[in-house]
Structure 1
Amino acid sequence: MTHTSRHTLAVLLLIVALVSSPALASFERPAASVASEAQPSLDDPEAVEAWLDETMAAQLERHHVPGATVVLVHEDEIALAKGYGYADLDTRRPVVADETVFSVGSTGKLVTWTAVMQGVEDGRLDLDRDVNDYLADSAVSVPPTYPEPVTLRHLGTHTAGFEDVFAGMVADDPGEIRPMDQILADQRPARVSPPGAFVAYSNYGTALAGHVVAETADTPFVEQVDERIFMPLGMANTTYAQPLPARLDPHRATGYTYQNGGYQAHPPLVWTLPPEGGSLRTTGADMGQFMLAHLNEGAVGGERILSAESVREMHSRQVTKSERVPELNGMAFGFIEMDRNDERIVGHWGDTPRFTSLLALYPERDLGLFVVYNAPGGGTARFELLDAFTDRYYPRSDTPAVDPPTGATDRARALTGDYRSLTVSTSSWERLLGVTTRTYTVEATDDGSLRTTRLGAPTQTWVERRPGVYEAVGGSDLLVFEYDDEGRATHLFFDSFGPSTYERVPCYERLTVLQTGLGAGVLGFASVLLLWLAGPLWRRWRGHDAPDDRERAAHWLLGTVSLLWLAVLVIFLLAWLDFNAEAASPSLALQTGKLVRWVALAGTVGAVVATGLAWRDEYWTRPVRVHYTVVTAAAVVVAWQLSLLGVLPL
């Protein structure tokens, strides 16, 4: 069994053990081709279309996706807009690029940031002003956790320092959507780092920026973007409306998941933070118009939505994550840097439970690529398409690193440990999701390379380019480490995942420690329950006296505590498995689990007291007292581990 297999098996067993989940993660880039003398050209549209036809057909089959739309814009026009596969399998309705309406998830955030820049041009907004100055008449505010204020520039570069939370983002019914200021006030995340310190992706931050736009214009955000972005660009089939308007609903793409060899259709998701982008529905052709506006200095067909200066600012780097590694992708304003093969690329990607999308602009090439899929398999497929497209038309010219340089082994060993995304929640049980799925374990190999593993992702091997900078073996992604003044690695960055920072965690928070603690607790609790059942039979067989009332009470206390902790573990594991539904509407089981965890904690305190009494008054035999002590200690450890996972907020 491989290291990755053992690691994954351990996670699944330990609750039973509670750990793993749908991940929001980085991706690995496949190896780029090296430039050859004769390269394909975008000037041959038939060849481009033929290549895309072949590529998309293979993707839909390989990644189990029913349908997709691809749009390519080049030199001020839509060069290709084409649908592939099916928008609906039951009716065999095909995807049509200028008709089929897809959910694009966070790719729609680019609309929000475009609207922010319109506000800057109008003089209503200043990117470097405290956002609280714009919220005087709103129920929303940013708390003064740090001396430095949060600005729109921080929000637009995901450096505001918010934790990432999902609560309040989705609902079960459109009727549950409340006014934006109420949602933002009720679901305000904690500020966990000073603004400007680190890049950490925040859905809430973009929603807050959209609210600022609406407050300063005294016009609902949705109306503003309809009038100032969608209408001027001719994006007639684009909307934030929920449910989808009657004229567009017949053209809606159905979202699917692939299960047990077949496709399962799902109803549309209801988003409660429309300005942050999640609820945007659009067609491939409409997104082509949006790309053209950004590639043509803010104007299309005589209609201007931004000035050339604003467009350049949005596309230029605003945040450099590592000063010593300037080639590492960082953040533009609203746009994520996606440079590949020395090509300047900015864009965004989006995920919902059923749809995945990607928009990539090559500003220096006057080129844009957009793709959207109606199944989760598109999450990998979109980056494969971007890589393949870039490698085909703008191939890499350098040679990948192969062998580690001298001294690499010692340097690699100093980097080992667990690195956790700064987006992980600190204030709710959602921390469980982040800790288990947004943590990379870094290990050194004997030859001086590094190996990274993350739950739900393949193991990746990295070879050193120079100290602290590693390149993916069989790929072109970069792994970059940041150091403190003493030369100790403190943070990790992926070139392929610009809007995130991973922080090295203490040894006691490593996944293996958490898993071991929870696993030991599960075994201990199970042993107590086994003795609960077998104890009377054992005493009868051995002829032992029945325990007195105090001994019986102590046994019942620890047995109850064991049952309660096992119930908590199972409840939160099931909530994790059905995370999207729990985020939309917490189940009765989850609400019960939140109560039971405190009862279990109180019982654990009681068990600690009972342990002391057992030793003082010599309950039972010595082996039984030792067992009672060990299981009580395990309960304390479980409570501590669950507090680190956010399940038990202490």
Structure 2
Amino acid sequence: MNRAPTFNRNLVTRIVPLYVGGRSRYLRVGVKRAATATALFLVAVYAATPLGAETDDPSSTRLALAQRVADVIVARILDEHRLPYLGLAVFHGDQTVFKAHGYHDETRTVAFDARRSIVRAASVAKLPVALVAAELLAEHGIDPNEPVRDHVRTFGVPTHERTPIRFNHLFSHTEGFEARSVGIKTFDPHQLVPLRQLLRDTPPLTFQRPGLMVTYGNWASAVLGGVIEELSSTSFAEAMQQRLFDPAGMSDSTFLQPLPSELAERRAPDYRYQGAQLRRLEPTWSQLVPASGLHTTVADAARLMGLLLRDGQRASQTVLSRDTVQRALETQFRVHPRLPGVTLGFLEEEHSGLRMLVRDGDSEGVMSRMILVPQADVGVFLVTGSDSKTPRTDAARLLGEGLCAEIDCPAPYDGYPELMTVEPLKPYTGIYSLANRPRHDVSRLPVQVTTLLRVSTAQAGTLLVTPLSDDPFAGIDRATEFRPLGEQLFEAVDRSIRIAFVRGPLGEVRYLFTGAGYHGSYEKLRPWERLYFALAGLLLPMVLCVVTTLMRLIGILSRRRPESGRRQRLQSGGITVCAATMTAFGVLAIPAIAFVGMAPGLPAWVPGLGGFAYVVFSLPIIALAAILWVLALGARSVATGFAISVPEGIMDRLLLGSVPILFVALYHWRLLGYWF
């Protein structure tokens, strides 16, 4: 007769460190209490899996725990989400459980295989890049606190306010780079640019001093990839293969683009649902290879998790030094003492009171997540063929619930008094935008629009934070109410997330920081930085251009007599050219930025703007030339000096008066000429 699985006595009788609000607390877990919780969990969720006769064997018990966690995660995700395929690995101790569901293709002939199917891991790539870079620095005797520019010769690394970017800034995503994304992907692998050439030709741009806040993006990992190439004296992909993938037994992982033929045949496609229809996406390739160019399997991801949970050891071989592993598992930067922080390669989150190390990967049609729970010796890797982020969020929640049925977990954020404050909440309200949004290319406007948070007062003593778009940086996917805890710290009413505010040099509330998602840092927009103010400089002159164009067209159709005098006719023609050109620009600008050349899940500027965009963004230059022509025609000398005569029509004069405002706005949003 099969017996119900017994609880892992080795797991619950040892001293288990549990993360509590940024500190470690050591709890001795009682066997009886934990066993009772396990029994309730098994009865409530699913039937127990028999282990066989020998349930006291530690390996069998660890395998049973991994199996139970994997079963719960897969069952709940597949029950609540429609996915073309799913792959899961749960690592515990020396045991790994794999789960696979679905098919590669729409005809459902090639089943997804956790051990063989190649998936694009996207930003999960940042973890192995950080690990190898840390190993190379140690090998060359370079202190991570040294400036990066002192150790690279083939490309430049910017500074801000004479403050150099150090290696630890790159490891912790606090380097202060703008999140630029114009031209970072391509559909044609032959258009890929060598990494260090890319860093020379289009170096990252800073917007503030490094070390102040998390400025998550792709450029920090790209610079680390350039460092790996320079220190290893080989290509980035070869260095990653030699220094990590081969020693770790990750034979199906690579940064090569395009993929070798043997791996390309096993690659699982990217998918998106458009309504009820599943659409297969054309593959894209990343110019910033170290940030998002990793292809791997679920099994190889499990090997990487095992490496980190085994002090960098594989069998008797040391693949990663203990110091590198320790830095990957311990907090390296925290923007607020009571918010989750950042490690070397991971972002911290808290679920069910457990400290989890999370590494997400987002692409147009594949989502992935790696989770380590060091205090429970558990790792999870999940990949889904979809653009939905909800399954991986559910995986972290379900993992926390499952582990807390096995071990005694504290309440979320336990250990802190609930310090209610009587501080006025009005100063915290306003519109916040991503602090590291791009400022120097054509994506400035669309990125600002899609990374907005509105903070308002809700019921007495609480704040309501509402995301105005689907923004992954904040980790807030719906309107959420926050209560104050003091120290400019706020906690969601359901205790799922905390946010913190920081004041500027004049005492004004300036920044909002989150402890979820990509640990986004948000800057409070001043009135003149808000969209309605900045867009007014575009829209009002554009309305005048449209009206002037229509009036000129009506005049032509009604055959009105032209103005007397050659100069007046030429000036009127110049204004007509300006108005018609800017009207055409107003009609074509949005398609040029967002639609022409776009793909599902990929705005047009990401693969780079093409010939159509160059033509559209040249139209304001033609309009400017026409206005200068009008002013030159009206210039004349007078007794008191110099004067310019302008057309007498009120609409013409309004249009001329609005031109400076229009071109200031075009420059601000980088829509003038070839600013992209």
| Alignment partner of 1:351 out of 347, 362, 368 | 362
Aligned partner of 1:150 in structure 2 is 165
Looking at structure 1, the residues matched to 329 and 547 of structure 2 have their Cα atoms a distance apart, in angstroms, of: 60
Looking at structure 1, the residues matched to 646 and 145 of structure 2 have their Cα atoms a distance apart, in angstroms, of: 68
Looking at structure 2, the residues matched to 616 and 147 of structure 1 have their Cα atoms a distance apart, in angstroms, of: 46
Looking at structure 1, the residues matched to 403 and 228 of structure 2 have their Cα atoms a distance apart, in angstroms, of: 39
Q: Quote how far apart the aligned CAs of 1:291 are.
A: 0.5
Aligned partner of 1:316 in structure 2 is 330
Match of 1:287, SS state, is helix
Aligned partner of 2:128 in structure 1 is 111
Q: Is the 8 A contact 2:159 2:165 kept in 1?
A: no
1:342 aligns with 2:353: yes
Q: Is the 8 A contact 1:167 1:187 kept in 2?
A: no
Q: Quote how far apart the aligned CAs of 1:399 are.
A: 9.5
Q: Quote how far apart the aligned CAs of 1:357 are.
A: 1.3
Q: Is the 8 A contact 1:330 1:498 kept in 2?
A: no
Aligned partner of 2:28 in structure 1 is none
1:221 aligns with 2:221: no
- Equivalent residues in 2 for 1:14-33 (5 A)? none
The range that moved more, 289-298 or 148-157, is 148-157
1:563 aligns with 2:577: no
Deviation string 1:9-28 (CA, Å, 9 cap, x unpaired) is xxxxxxxxxxxxxxxxxxxx
Aligned partner of 2:399 in structure 1 is 389
- Equivalent residues in 2 for 1:377-526 (5 A)? 377=388, 379-394=389-404, 397=411, 407=422, 411-445=424-458, 447-448=460-461, 449-456=463-470, 459-467=478-486, 468-474=488-494, 476-526=496-546
Aligned length: 594
Question: Aligned in 2, Cα 1:254/1:215: closer, same or farther, shift over 3 Å?
Answer: same
Question: Aligned in 2, Cα 1:201/1:280: closer, same or farther, shift over 3 Å?
Answer: same
- Give the alignment's Cα RMSD to 1 decimal: 3.3
| Alignment partner of 1:262 out of 277, 281, 285 | 277
Deviation string 1:459-497 (CA, Å, 9 cap, x unpaired) is 513222234322335561222111135431111111113
Question: Aligned in 2, Cα 1:341/1:263: closer, same or farther, shift over 3 Å?
Answer: same
**Amino acid corresponding to residue 154 of structure 1 in structure 2:** H
Q: Is the 8 A contact 2:421 2:485 kept in 1?
A: no
**Amino acid corresponding to residue 645 of structure 1 in structure 2:** W
Q: Is the 8 A contact 1:469 1:478 kept in 2?
A: yes
Q: Which structure has the larger Rg? A: 2
Looking at structure 2, the residues matched to 505 and 527 of structure 1 have their Cα atoms a distance apart, in angstroms, of: 32
1:589 aligns with 2:612: yes
Looking at structure 2, the residues matched to 393 and 610 of structure 1 have their Cα atoms a distance apart, in angstroms, of: 79
| Alignment partner of 1:74 out of 55, 73, 92 | 92
| Alignment partner of 2:143 out of 121, 126, 137 | 126
Q: Quote how far apart the aligned CAs of 1:171 are.
A: 2.6
The range that moved more, 280-289 or 493-502, is 493-502
**Amino acid corresponding to residue 152 of structure 2 in structure 1:** L
Question: Aligned in 2, Cα 1:242/1:212: closer, same or farther, shift over 3 Å?
Answer: same
Aligned partner of 2:156 in structure 1 is 141
Question: Aligned in 2, Cα 1:472/1:584: closer, same or farther, shift over 3 Å?
Answer: same
Match of 1:166, SS state, is coil
The unaligned stretches of length 5 or more in structure 1 are 1-34
Q: Quote how far apart the aligned CAs of 1:601 are.
A: 3.9
Q: Is the 8 A contact 2:184 2:608 kept in 1?
A: no
Q: Is the 8 A contact 1:101 1:282 kept in 2?
A: yes
Match of 1:321, SS state, is coil
Q: Is the 8 A contact 1:180 1:273 kept in 2?
A: yes
Question: Aligned in 2, Cα 1:351/1:567: closer, same or farther, shift over 3 Å?
Answer: farther
Looking at structure 1, the residues matched to 92 and 437 of structure 2 have their Cα atoms a distance apart, in angstroms, of: 39
Looking at structure 2, the residues matched to 91 and 547 of structure 1 have their Cα atoms a distance apart, in angstroms, of: 75
The range that moved more, 115-124 or 68-77, is 115-124
Looking at structure 2, the residues matched to 417 and 167 of structure 1 have their Cα atoms a distance apart, in angstroms, of: 29
Q: Is the 8 A contact 1:571 1:589 kept in 2?
A: no
Question: Aligned in 2, Cα 1:592/1:343: closer, same or farther, shift over 3 Å?
Answer: same
Aligned partner of 2:309 in structure 1 is 295
Q: Quote how far apart the aligned CAs of 1:129 are.
A: 1.7
Q: Is the 8 A contact 2:483 2:492 kept in 1?
A: no
Q: Which has the higher contact order (CA 8 A, sep 6+)?
A: 1
Deviation string 1:537-561 (CA, Å, 9 cap, x unpaired) is 6786xxx885654444444433332
Aligned partner of 2:621 in structure 1 is 598
Match of 1:529, SS state, is helix
Q: Quote how far apart the aligned CAs of 1:309 are.
A: 2.5
Looking at structure 2, the residues matched to 284 and 259 of structure 1 have their Cα atoms a distance apart, in angstroms, of: 26
Q: Quote how far apart the aligned CAs of 1:122 are.
A: 1.9
Match of 1:642, SS state, is helix
Aligned partner of 2:17 in structure 1 is none
Aligned partner of 1:372 in structure 2 is 383
Looking at structure 2, the residues matched to 361 and 517 of structure 1 have their Cα atoms a distance apart, in angstroms, of: 49
Q: Quote how far apart the aligned CAs of 1:512 are.
A: 2.7
Q: Is the 8 A contact 2:270 2:365 kept in 1?
A: yes
**Amino acid corresponding to residue 464 of structure 1 in structure 2:** R
The range that moved more, 103-112 or 190-199, is 190-199
Q: Is the 8 A contact 1:60 1:67 kept in 2?
A: no
Looking at structure 2, the residues matched to 561 and 545 of structure 1 have their Cα atoms a distance apart, in angstroms, of: 18
The unaligned stretches of length 5 or more in structure 2 are 1-32, 43-61, 472-476, 637-642
Match of 2:606, SS state, is helix
**Amino acid corresponding to residue 584 of structure 1 in structure 2:** P
Match of 2:368, SS state, is strand
Q: Quote how far apart the aligned CAs of 1:341 are.
A: 3.5
Q: Quote how far apart the aligned CAs of 1:455 are.
A: 2.8
Looking at structure 1, the residues matched to 130 and 505 of structure 2 have their Cα atoms a distance apart, in angstroms, of: 36
Q: Quote how far apart the aligned CAs of 1:337 are.
A: 1.8
Looking at structure 2, the residues matched to 558 and 193 of structure 1 have their Cα atoms a distance apart, in angstroms, of: 42
TM-score by length of 2: 0.80
Q: Is the 8 A contact 1:346 1:362 kept in 2?
A: yes
Q: Quote how far apart the aligned CAs of 1:146 are.
A: 3.3
Q: Is the 8 A contact 2:351 2:400 kept in 1?
A: yes
**Amino acid corresponding to residue 435 of structure 1 in structure 2:** Q
TM-score by length of 1: 0.83
Looking at structure 1, the residues matched to 320 and 89 of structure 2 have their Cα atoms a distance apart, in angstroms, of: 22
Looking at structure 2, the residues matched to 261 and 269 of structure 1 have their Cα atoms a distance apart, in angstroms, of: 24
Looking at structure 1, the residues matched to 536 and 495 of structure 2 have their Cα atoms a distance apart, in angstroms, of: 33
Q: Is the 8 A contact 2:482 2:490 kept in 1?
A: yes
Deviation string 1:378-422 (CA, Å, 9 cap, x unpaired) is x33312321233244337625999x996746xx322122222223
Identity of aligned residues (%): 23
Q: Is the 8 A contact 1:168 1:187 kept in 2?
A: no
Looking at structure 2, the residues matched to 515 and 336 of structure 1 have their Cα atoms a distance apart, in angstroms, of: 35
